[in-house]
Amino acid sequence: MSPENLQEMVDGTDDLVGTFRDRDLEASIWDYPDKPYDFPAEFSNWIREQKAWREQCAVIDQSFHMTHFRVTGDDDEAQDLFETVGINSFADWRDGEPPRAKQFVALNPDGYVIGDCILFWLEEGHYLFVGEEPVSNWTTYQAEKGGYDVDCEMIYNPLGPRDPEYFRFEIMGPNAIDLMAEAVDGDLPEIPFFQMDELSIQGVDAYALGHQMTSERGIEIFGDYEHHDEVLDHIFAVGEDYGLRQVGNKAYITTGIELGWIPLPLPAVYDSPEMEAYREWLPMESMEANFVLGGSYVSEDISDYYATLGGLGYDHIAKFDHDFIGREALEENEALLDGEQKVTFIIDDEDIMKVWGSLLEEGETYKFLTMPEVPYRSELSRYDEILKDGETVGMAKHMDYSYNEREFAALGWIDTEYAEPGTRVTMRWGEPDTEKSQIEPHAMTELRATVAPAPYMKKDREKAFAD
């Protein structure tokens, strides 16, 4: 009999990690046959697109690949719910007015990360979560369990039947602000990082967020999806004078290396006894029940894949001015906040060439390394083991290539004692003992790497080492 919820799935296997490591990724938000859109690998050339956000200007159409989850109702009730679920303080929202935005982070009762997303307060009684599914699921469950006077609705899922309700465009690069100043109706408001305002473009009302997906300054705008084409076409027309290029899938996924954002760790929902009722509530159609793990790290304990606030660089977001799920665990175990640090691992050029060179030699080859790495090709979340003197001291979560920096780098976390920039480590490369058909036979190897800050830029790293 097939399981009907996550708890039944967990109970039905004696190797949950193996289940997640062996299954093929059957559906991808990047190439879904029932959708009237796609996300091309390249619009021009991925190198040109990477260079555009560093040298001139780039636009990313983010309308399609993230879930959108709406919460409506009384503001006090909604913000009470958010303070229960999230580590963030909402004192500034209670004393302020929309539009506002926060990087919203949710923990399990043991203090490990379930997930994060962007939470928008659009207008009185209207909130929007944009990101991955686990935070939305956990928030909906807590709203129902706690009897909060709010309505929760998943208004868009990339793998679902609906079209988006919002267009969402990220414009970034040295020319981004000048471009948008010309593109909008009237004056472009000055919007500090992660602050919001409202504007009009071609007569279309839109929200604006001070944000960027790379190290360069940018702005994110979103509004009613029915105006998607006309707004984007207008940005393209104005952008001809600013060197604007649209970013495709290949270049887009590399923005995380510059930004220092680690996407989608395994949500920490699978083993806490306090979450059994939640697992019974989660249907088999959920992302949590269909997760796919990849990478060189293998453990029998599912909790070894959970992320900490320190490891994701979110320790500064936790505010202890309110009660939230996981607070007690953080207070009792400081290592959840400072035991690990988010870092960048700079991979030695010689070892990258070793991996590629194996393809031209007799015998076993090393795991194929694409450039740039294709997102979600064979897993939802990758864990590559970081070693120091043969001992596991961290995880690399996403390795990719930056043409702007001319190097391979991996985002991840490391035990704090090894987080000093310049520390030498090795990354175990490959995927051992997996039954995935999407992974070719290969030999395991190790790649030498140097610890650097996250986010990082070569010029900043050189200064840090000099200091």
User: Could you tell me which residues are annotated as the binding site for substrate?
Assistant: 220
State CA 239 to chain mean position distance. 28
Residue 325 DSSP label: T
C-alpha neighbours within 13 Å on the C-beta side of residue 48: 10
Q: Which residues are annotated as a binding site?
A: 220
Q: Report how far residue 254's alpha carbon sits from residue 401's, in angstroms, rounded to the nearest whole number.
A: 7
Please report, as a single letter, which amino acid is at residue 271: D
Q: Report how far residue 212's alpha carbon sits from residue 392's, in angstroms, rounded to the nearest whole number.
A: 33
Q: Report how far residue 161's alpha carbon sits from residue 401's, in angstroms, rounded to the nearest whole number.
A: 34
Q: Report how far residue 91's alpha carbon sits from residue 102's, in angstroms, rounded to the nearest whole number.
A: 12
- Are 108 and 325 a contacting pair, CB within 8 Å? yes
- Interhelix angle 176-183/228-239, nearest 10 degrees: 120
Query: Within 147-224, where are the H helices?
Result: 176-183
- Are 66 and 115 a contacting pair, CB within 8 Å? no
Q: Who contacts 258 (Cβ-Cβ below 8 Å, separation ≥6)?
A: 213, 214, 215, 402, 404, 455, 456, 457
